[in-house]
Structure 1
Amino acid sequence: MNELSVRAAAAGDYDEVRALFAGAMMFDSSPTELGRRMFEPERTLVVADGPDIVGTTQALTGELSVPGALVPAAHVTGVGVKATHRRRGIMSELITRQLREVPEAIAVLWASESGIYGRFGYGAAAYGMSYEIDLHRVGPPNVRTRPGEVSELPADGAVKELAPLLRALQERRPGISGRSDLQWQQRLEDKPDDRGGKTARQILVHRDESGAVDGYALWRGKMHWIATGPANEVHLEELVAIDPAAYRALWQHLLTLDLAGTLEFGFAAVDEPLQQLITTPTALNRRLNESLWLRVTDVPRALEQRRYAVAVDLVLDVTDELIPANTGRFRLTAGETVRCELTDAPADLSLSIAELGATYLGGRHLAEFATTGRVTEHTPGALRQAGAAFSWPVAPVSLEIF
């Protein structure tokens, strides 16, 4: 790469790496002590032009829920190139090396520009639904709660109540990232300068009959008036509820707040149960978005880590332009146990690594890609068999941008 060099970051690079990414994304950001503690230099690649860092990408350590399992996943973030060094192959060099070196069998990211990552073998594996709910039209949900079921929880000590619920949701729905203690601290951090004119974050919880917390919602409010009176904004950041009663109660509280006109929520699932609770679906104002992109870095290990809805025995002919070991024919057999290994047997289906990533979480069907020739069926019925096996009862969802 001419005079440019690629290397792993050092602990002392945090401030410069943070400043470069903020500059590339065009937002102001000051280094923080929490950010320094969370920085993983050994998992951060940088491109240096002499003494200056001009490109970077990071892979955060974490786990992800996939169909039937919780698995390690490289959480890719902080991808940026200095404006003075664009169009020189820096991003391609960084992403290619990162994918070849991460120890996990899958990598995931949120794409700031969705057109970039497909060429590196990523596939859009989870879609999210953004809601802008007209509270004047939606009406109260078809549920009633008893006094005392819903209450507020102070931020201090909240993690011990909330973390087990997120973990339980991971066991039920694919696409959800786990959080370390430091990540929880970052999630609940609430600096006044970062509120954007909104109120302090409220932690709303639902308790079951024994008093245990079985659901929570993180939300903020913002004052807003129109000609006819108050129309305050409710900004829902996250809602996690394991018990149906908790889910219904939390939504009832949020949809019936006094003086509120709209509720915004950007991290709903495609099959969000809220749709079952209201009588005016058009008041939801839904918008479908790509959320989690997934890249398989080790085909046999990735396919053995997840579970399958029905028994399957297929040979997949996979092509991968960046990781040669992923190119070949792999026999996937799944029943009580799951095995995936190289084979010389004829292929039932042919596809690239991107289609495998897109369908890995169970939210998309390989038949979707067959209609455009990106997946080829060689054995009649193989697409149907693969679709049944790779599918999952609930849609994948990602709860936050990392």
Structure 2
Amino acid sequence: MTGFDIRTAKAADYEEFLALFGGAMMFEMQADDLGRQLFEPERALVAVDSGEIIGTTRALTRDLSVPGAVVPAAHVTAVGVRATHRRRGVMAGLISRQLRDVPEAIAVLWASEPGIYGRFGYGAAAFDVSYEVDLHRVGPPDVRMRPGELSELPVDGAAKQLAPLLRSLQERRPGVSGRSDLYWQKHLEDKPDHRDGKTARRILVHRDETGSIDGYALYRGKLNWESSGPANEVSLEELVALEPAAYRALWQHVLTMDLSAKLGYGYAALDEPVQQLVTTPTALGRRVSESLWVRVTDVARALADRRYAVPVDVVLEVTDELIPANAGRYRLTADGPTAPARCERTEDPADLGLSVTELGAVYLGGRPLAEFAATGRVTEHTPGALATAGAAFGWPILPASIEIF
């Protein structure tokens, strides 16, 4: 790497940082007060050439649900390089330094170019299912006998009522990012010039028989008219439901909107229960892609932070070319899903061998170790260790990330 320096960002870099990343992604990014408040210069890096910013990356301070726990996770975003400085090692320099610097035991990101991040030890740990639902064919069930009621919330004060539900979802499903008050404010921001021709956001809530909110959906509509008549589009942005009645009622509502022909939803899980609620699942129009990528930056701490589905006692030999201090053998022990885990360095012979990339891929419980053993990326040294450890790393509920950050 020559011709540029990497340094920690400064508060005064905010607008130039934003402009560089927006240019790299080919869309306009407007500086505003809320964005400035969320900018953590001490957690952002810039590459500089002749005093000009040519590359960016930042890590957001947020937490993430993992199997059996909610832990701090460096939420990596805004990775960009000026078009005139590509293929010069700028991105590699930024990402490598960032991963060595973050204090959290794991870093996570959504990859705009998935082929890049495996080189740095990230593994695709969760999958995103996008729906493009044909509302004329999907055939949702009749749930008129459901308990509870639906109503809409005004934006003012909504975050305080919705935040506990998101936290409860984190306690159930791995892969869900937490939101501070400022991140909730940003999430519910609804500037007219960002709506792409759609209506203002609706905040739909379900209340149980006691009047408490136990589910919500964020959605918009868009007017569309075809030769055959009205064919409006519904954009479901987020749906969180803690109880089956809330889940059924919210989906029933968005799948039966008057004058509507299509519903789009970009953050479904692989095991999304709505598949059970419709009479024609093929009308959901499912498309699967990687969502959350995980990079383990501190093996012992990361493995001790999560829980394990069954008791386990296994020695893992981990390789890590980027962070040599991570490499070595670790004994992982746990007594089941409710017990704290222990992970310590050991000189005992390894039962399984893998790189930090595979460790990241299985960390959220959504991908089996056996998947990587089939291609030689996980090596079994002790007969039976793969089955035992694979069962322990799995989790009953698949991970899903419900927002791009």
State TM-score, norm by structure 1.
Answer: 0.99
1:264/1:145 Cα in 2 relative to 1: closer, same or farther (>3 Å)? Answer: farther
Aligned match of 1:348 in 348, 351, 359? 351
Give the equivalent residue in structure 2 for 1:375.
378
Q: Distance in 1 between matches of 2:142 and 2:315?
A: 48
SS at match of 2:136: helix
Q: Distance in 1 between matches of 2:105 and 2:369?
A: 20
Question: Matches of 1:124 and 1:159 in 2, distance apart?
Answer: 30
Q: 1:136 is paired with a residue of what secondary structure?
A: coil
Alpha carbons 2:146, 2:245 under 8 Å: kept: no
Distance in 2 of aligned mates of 1:30 and 1:158: 25
> Quick one: distance in 2 between partners of 1:163 and 1:19?
31
% of aligned pairs identical?
72
Aligned residues: 402
What residue in structure 2 maps to residue 300 of structure 1? 300
C-alpha distance in 2 between matches for 1:240 and 1:367: 31
CA contact (8 A) 1:145 1:249 kept: no
Q: Does 1:282 align with 2:282?
A: yes
Unaligned regions of 5+ residues in structure 2, if any?
Answer: none
Tell me if the contact between 1:142 and 1:278 (Cα under 8 Å) persists in the aligned partners: no
Q: CA deviation at 1:146?
A: 5.8
Cα deviation for residue 41 of structure 1 reads 0.1
Contact 1:144–1:252 (CA under 8 A) maintained in structure 2? no
Task: Provide the residue aligned with 2:64 in structure 1.
Answer: 64
Determine the C-alpha separation between the residues in 2 that align with 1:338 and 1:211: 39
Partners of 2:64 and 2:207 in 1: CA distance: 27
Which residue in 2 is equivalent to 1:365?
Answer: 368
- Give 2:107's aligned residue: 107
Q: Distance in 2 between matches of 1:199 and 1:359?
A: 39
The 5 A counterparts of 1:304-323 are 304-323=304-323
Partner of 2:80: 80
CA contact 2:148–2:208 (8 Å) conserved in 1: no
Distance (whole Å) between structure 1 residues aligned to residue 372 and residue 2 of structure 2:
39
Aligned-residue RMSD, C-alpha: 1.0
Q: Taking structure 1 as reference, are residues 370 and 323 closer, same or farther at Cα in structure 2, changes over 3 Å only?
A: same
- Within 5 Å, give how 1:129-168 maps onto structure 2: 129-145=129-145, 149-168=149-168
Aligned mates of 2:257, 2:2 — CA distance in 1: 60
C-alpha deviation, 1:143, in angstroms? 2.1
Q: Which amino acid aligns with 2:201?
A: R
Q: Which amino acid aligns with 1:176?
A: V
Is the CA contact 2:204–2:218 (under 8 Å) kept in the aligned structure 1? yes
Q: Which amino acid aligns with 1:130?
A: S
**CA–CA distance in 2 between the matches of 1:285 and 1:9?**
43
Tell me by how many angstroms 1:144 deviates: 2.1
Partners of 1:301 and 1:2 in 2: how far apart?
35
Counterpart of 2:229 in structure 1 is: 229
Distance change in 2, residues 1:14/1:350 (3 Å):
same
Paired with 1:173 and 1:227, the residues of 2 have a C-alpha distance of 43
Segments of structure 1 that go 5 or more residues without pairing to the other structure are none
Match of 2:340 in 1: 337
Q: Which residue of 1 aligns with 2:47?
A: 47
Query: How many angstroms does 1:325 deviate by?
Result: 1.1
CA distance in 2, matches of 1:2, 1:397: 39
1:385 aligns with 2:394: no
Give the superposition deviation at 1:132. Answer: 0.7
Q: Does the CA-based 8 Å contact 1:142-1:277 persist in structure 2?
A: no
Task: Point out the more displaced range, 333-342 or 211-220.
Answer: 333-342
TM-score, normalised relative to structure 2 = 0.98
